[in-house]
């Protein structure tokens, strides 16, 4: 073997450092190990909730999606380091991205299938919509704060969650043009279950909605519309959500 010239050594060193420079950020941005750890935390959290909930084992399909969606890209720059901790984080305008366990639980409880149209009220960061996207045929999401809605819409488009449509408006009234919905998820707490959303739920559909005042205890409620059109509601667990704002929400 020929001894390397000084120039070749220099070139090799440059290439090695270039490899470090190009591979480190990609790896750091990927953060798949942190996501896998987050999903483990979610699974063990689920095992500790009352068995009557029927969500002690998060559906592996939901867990798998949450292992892929880059939550760190849905939070502001200064929150990125904490993106895979199992807690809500501020997203600006006094709003929060929900705790990953709650996102998993709500997604699990509405049983989304590949042919389903899903309505989300409270787009916020767009993260919950991104988690629903691979599970559903179409996701419609409504956000009342224009800046958040626009930001989430462009983030979802950039990340190619192409079956998500976001609109700015008051979600209390639902989205009649696209009703009925096979599943509805409300990610802000209402003082009561909004009747227009019950109306827009398909027969056989499920809605998950936190109900309660901003300074009192709120409960996650599961609303089901049976095939015969009758409604059942179940009170699940105590939660803490930002309030649902808008016209008749109070």
User: What are the catalytic residues?
Assistant: 98
Q: In the structure encoding, which two tokens stand for residue 133, read together?
A: 């996207």
- Nearest-angstrom CA–CA distance, 72 and 167: 23
**Interface residues for ligand SAH in 108-127 (CB under 6 A)?**
121-122, 124-125, 127
- Nearest-angstrom CA–CA distance, 18 and 3: 23
Tell me if residue 249 falls in helix, strand or coil: coil
End-to-end CA distance of the chain: 80
Smallest distance, ligand SAH to C-beta of residue 116, A:
18
Tell me if residue 136 falls in helix, strand or coil: coil
Q: Does 171 bind ligand SAH (CB under 6 A)?
A: yes
Stretch that binds ligand SAH, among 30-38, 50-58, 205-213, 238-246 (CB under 6 A): 238-246
Tell me if residue 169 falls in helix, strand or coil: coil
Pick the closer one to ligand SAH by CB: 176 or 204: 176
Q: In the structure encoding, which two tokens stand for residue 76, read together?
A: 């502001």
Binding mask 58-97 for ligand SAH (x = CB under 6 A): -------------------------------------xxx
Contact pick of 119, 148, 156, 236 for ligand SAH (by CB under 6 A): 148
Contact pick of 39, 153, 188, 209 for ligand SAH (by CB under 6 A): 188
- Nearest-angstrom CA–CA distance, 156 and 150: 10
Q: Does 221 bind ligand SAH (CB under 6 A)?
A: no
Q: Does 197 bind ligand SAH (CB under 6 A)?
A: no
Contact pick of 172, 174, 184, 223 for ligand SAH (by CB under 6 A): 172
Cβ neighbours for 4, distance < 8 A, ≥ 6 positions apart: 12
- Nearest-angstrom CA–CA distance, 82 and 76: 10
Beta bridge partners of 189: 243
Q: Does 201 bind ligand SAH (CB under 6 A)?
A: no
Contact pick of 167, 178, 234, 245 for ligand SAH (by CB under 6 A): 245
Smallest distance, ligand SAH to C-beta of residue 92, A:
9
- Nearest-angstrom CA–CA distance, 74 and 4: 48
**β-pair type (201-211, 138-143):** unpaired
Q: Does 142 bind ligand SAH (CB under 6 A)?
A: yes
Q: DSSP string spanning 80-101?
A: GGGTTSSS-EEEETTEEEPPHH
Pick the closer one to ligand SAH by CB: 125 or 236: 125
Smallest distance, ligand SAH to C-beta of residue 163, A:
16
Q: Does 144 bind ligand SAH (CB under 6 A)?
A: yes
Instruction: Map tokens 């070749």 to a residue.
Output: 8
Which residues would be at the binding site for ligand SAH (CB under 6 A)?
95-98, 121-122, 124-125, 127-128, 142-145, 148, 170-172, 187-188, 242, 244-246, 249
């Amino acid at each position: 073997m020929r001894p390397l010239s000084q120039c070749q050594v220099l070139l090799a060193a440059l290439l090695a450092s270039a490899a470090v420079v190009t591979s480190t950020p990609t790896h750091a941005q990927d953060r798949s190990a942190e996501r896998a750890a987050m999903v483990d935390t979610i699974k063990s959290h689920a095992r500790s909730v009352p068995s009557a909930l029927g969500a002690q084992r998060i559906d592996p399909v939901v867990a798998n999606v949450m292992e892929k969606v880059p939550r760190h890209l849905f939070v502001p720059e200064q929150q990125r380091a904490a993106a895979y901790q199992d807690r809500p984080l501020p997203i600006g305008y006094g709003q929060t991205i929900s705790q990953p366990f709650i996102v998993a639980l709500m997604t699990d409880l509405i049983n989304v299938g590949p042919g389903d149209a899903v309505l989300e009220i409270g787009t916020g960061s767009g993260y919950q919509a991104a988690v629903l996207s691979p599970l559903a045929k179409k996701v419609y999401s409504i956000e009342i704060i224009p800046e958040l809605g626009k930001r989430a819409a462009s983030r979802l488009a950039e990340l190619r969650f192409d079956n998500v449509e976001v609109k700015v408006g008051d979600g209390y009234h639902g989205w009649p043009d696209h009703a009925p919905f096979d599943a509805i998820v409300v990610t802000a707490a209402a003082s009561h279950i909004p009747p227009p959303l019950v109306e827009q739920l398909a027969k056989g559909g499920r809605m998950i909605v936190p109900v309660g005042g901003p300074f009192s205890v709120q409960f996650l409620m599961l609303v089901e519309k049976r095939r015969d059109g009758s409604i059942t509601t179940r009170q699940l667990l105590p939660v803490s959500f930002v309030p649902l704002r808008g016209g008749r929400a109070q």
